């Protein structure tokens, strides 16, 4: 194995968001391009882990403070993902069903210790096994201490020369913790203390940016945005930009294929209009809405970052204004926001319906059956949903930010190559104007609407090009 991806998520084994999708698909395309890649994640007690088979390949114990914590590295034996998947079984730390949160949505109190244990176990395993990977590719703060550990901890020094890549999928979360928790870390050279620090706390995201050989963001625009706003890391990112690159994510076109998607009953068989109509009908089994009107879906976490807090007022404004559209919302998130949306439902029968849950199957059905997908994100490092939507013939309505800016071209700005509707400012007026444009396109510009739909379905957002960009980085380490 040349590249080992170290991550908290990997679809379908464990997914909380887009990080899982990316780590679950990029390695497939690296393998295809001749760069054997595997993934290691913690062994959560999820349904997927129970349904699949693993065999133990390594046993060890790490020491945190005065305690020895035994662990087992296992390999998935059915090749379910199309690349080697390793899991770290650490009883007491990961034998819970949630990834980061308990069933009520609260973050586990020992998350800091959990991911430190995970990272230490991974390093102990690879330093004690033959066939060390040539590159360690870490994703987000949960594996952000790895580049530091191999450089500055005597226990892992044998790995110190392995090149490291760190990818930022979400710079909002730093995983930082107070210096009073220093005792959780493995012994390191004392001169390196400052490397862990950012604003008087131990900051795994900042540490990764400082110590990884290269760091990447999941779109070019997001890299530029992080230099302006990254929750306090702005000047660090500016300072380290010489080793940074923005690489847009691809999508897994095997999982996201309207012609074969196993979650759908009606597949794409040449005629997009009939595919869309049939799938819209399927949606009416789950949602109550007027199916003569265009469906605008919101799919994702109901949190500020995704601009979900704009939804209640935006929906009221649009519907009170008698704009002829329907809103269907799928996702969970902030309690107050979910309550508010729920209470709005009865004022707009036929026009607003909700599924306040995480539901992968329903998400696929919504991409297939909706006419538009709304993404009013405040921040969007890449965004995969707009790409899934396009492939399934659903026109994205997005705020011009991060990866949304890099993947959606406004149809008014470029009628020939446009791929959706964009709005610039995060406010009700801009959002409402974008939705009105969608309503007009659907009701009054039928031919243009259909052309646009056919065009976006044919766009290529597959991984090949992005994987080639990562390989470009990997190659530089050995030249
Ligand atoms: C995070 C980001 C999202 C990105 C995904 C995969 O979930 O919020 O924009 O697409 O990671 O990189």
- On whether the pTM is more than 0.75, the answer is yes
* 103 pLDDT more than 90: no
Q: Looking up tokens 């026109």, which residue turns up?
A: 395
Classify residue 170 as exposed, middle or buried by CB count within 10 Å of its CB (0-12, 13-18, 19+): buried
Q: Which two tokens stand for residue 474?
A: 């990997």
Q: Where are the alpha helices (DSSP H) in 153-219?
A: 193-196, 204-211
Running DSSP on this structure, what letter comes out for residue 94?
Answer: T
User: If we measure between CA atoms, which residue out of 269, 266, 219 comes closest to residue 247?
Assistant: 219
Average pLDDT score over residue span 52-60: 98
Q: Check residue 479 and give its pLDDT.
A: 84
CB distance 159 to 132 below 8 Å: yes
- CA-nearest residue for atom 7, ligand 1, is 18
Report, as an integer, the average pLDDT of 279-289. Answer: 97
pLDDT value, residue 181: 97
Token representation of residue 277 = 């109509």
Ligand 1 atom nearest 402 alpha carbon: 9
Site to substitute for ligand 1 among 10, 19, 304, 470, most atoms within 8 A of C-beta: 19
For ligand 1, which residues put their CB under 6 angstroms from it?
17-19, 22, 169-170, 218, 249, 380-384, 403
Q: Which of 384, 387, 399 to mutate to test the pocket of ligand 1 (most atoms within 8 A of CB)?
A: 384
Examine the pLDDT at 104 and tell me if it is beyond 90.
no
pLDDT per residue over 426-464, tens digit each? 999 999 999 999 999 999 999 999 999 999 999 999 999
**Ligand 1 center from residue 296 Cα (angstroms):** 21
pLDDT at residue 47 is higher than 90: yes
The answer to whether the beta carbons of residues 26 and 463 sit under 8 Å apart is yes
3-class secondary structure, 42:
strand
CA of 266 to the centre of ligand 1 (A): 29
The pLDDT of residue 99: 97
Confidence grade of residue 105 (pLDDT, cut at 50, 70, 90): confident
How many other CB atoms are there within 10 angstroms of residue 284's CB atom? Answer: 14
Given pLDDT bands bounded at 50, 70 and 90, which one contains residue 312? Answer: very high
Q: How far is residue 245 CA from its own chain's centroid?
A: 18
Domains and CATH numbers, the chain: 3-250+463-476 (3.40.50.2000), 272-457 (3.40.50.2000)
The residue whose CB lies within 8 Å of the most ligand 1 atoms, and thus the one to mutate among 5, 8, 215, 218, is 218
Backbone angles phi, psi at 327, to 5 degrees: -115, 130
Cα–Cα nearest to 377, from 397, 357, 393: 397
Neighbours of 134 (CB within 10 A): 16
Angle between the 428-444 and 311-320 helix axes, to the nearest 10 degrees?
A: 50
Query: Where does the pLDDT of residue 8 fall: very low under 50, low under 70, confident under 90, or very high at 90 and above?
Result: very high
Q: Three-class SS of residue 2?
A: coil
Distance CA 66, CA 422 (A): 55
State the pLDDT at residue 290.
Answer: 98
So what's the pLDDT on residue 7? 98
Q: What is the pLDDT of residues 401-414, one digit of tens each?
A: 999 999 999 999 99
Helix, coil or strand: residue 131? coil
pLDDT digits (tens, 9 = 90+) for 127-170: 999 999 999 999 999 999 999 999 999 999 999 999 999 999 99
């Amino acid at each position: 194995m040349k590249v080992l991806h170290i991550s908290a998520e990997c679809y379908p084994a464990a997914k909380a968001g887009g990080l899982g999708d990316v780590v679950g698909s990029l390695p497939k395309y690296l393998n295809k391009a001749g760069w054997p890649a595997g993934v290691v994640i913690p062994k959560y007690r999820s349904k997927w882990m129970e349904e699949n088979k693993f065999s133990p390949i390594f046993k060890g114990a790490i020491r945190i403070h005065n305690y020895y914590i035994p662990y087992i590295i296992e390999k998935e034996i059915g090749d379910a993902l199309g690349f080697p998947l390793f899991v770290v079984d650490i009883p007491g730390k990961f034998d819970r069903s949630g990834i980061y949160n308990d069933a009520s949505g609260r973050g586990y109190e020992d998350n800091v210790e959990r991911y430190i244990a995970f990272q230490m176990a991974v390093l102990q395993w690879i330093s004690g096994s033959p066939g060390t990977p040539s590159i360690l590719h870490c994703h987000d703060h949960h594996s952000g201490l790895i580049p530091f550990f191999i450089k500055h901890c005597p226990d892992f020094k044998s790995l110190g020369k392995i090149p490291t890549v760190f990818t930022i999928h979400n710079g909002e979360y730093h995983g930082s913790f107070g210096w009073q928790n220093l005792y959780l870390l493995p012994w390191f050279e004392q001169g390196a203390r400052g490397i862990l620090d950012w604003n008087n706390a131990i900051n795994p995201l900042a540490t990764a940016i400082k110590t990884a050989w290269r760091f990447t963001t999941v779109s070019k625009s997001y890299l530029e945005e992080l230099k302006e706003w990254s929750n306090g890391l702005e000047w660090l990112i500016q300072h380290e930009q010489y080793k940074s690159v923005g690489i847009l994510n691809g999508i897994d076109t095997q999982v996201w294929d309207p012609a074969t998607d196993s979650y759908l009953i009606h597949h794409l068989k040449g005629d997009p209009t009939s595919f869309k109509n049939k799938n819209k009908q399927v949606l009416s089994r789950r949602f109550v809405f007027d199916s003569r009107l265009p469906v605008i879906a919101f799919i994702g976490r109901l949190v500020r970052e995704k601009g979900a807090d704009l939804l209640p007022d935006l929906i009221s404004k649009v519907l009170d204004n008698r704009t002829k559209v329907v809103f269907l919302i799928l996702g969970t998130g902030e309690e107050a926001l979910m309550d508010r949306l729920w209470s709005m439902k009865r004022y707009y029968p036929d026009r607003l319906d909700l599924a306040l849950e995480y539901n992968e199957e329903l998400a696929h059905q919504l991409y297939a059956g909706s006419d538009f997908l709304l993404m009013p994100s405040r921040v969007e490092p890449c965004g995969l949903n707009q790409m899934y939507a396009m492939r399934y013939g659903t026109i994205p309505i997005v705020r011009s930010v991060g990866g949304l800016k890099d993947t959606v071209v406004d149809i008014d700005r470029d009628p020939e190559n446009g791929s959706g509707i964009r709005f610039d400012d995060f406010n009700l007026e801009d959002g409402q104007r974008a939705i009105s444009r969608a309503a007009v396109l659907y009701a009054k510009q039928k031919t243009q609407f259909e052309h646009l739909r056919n065009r976006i379905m044919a766009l290529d957002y597959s991984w090949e090009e992005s994987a080639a960009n990562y390989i470009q980085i990997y190659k530089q380490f050995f030249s």
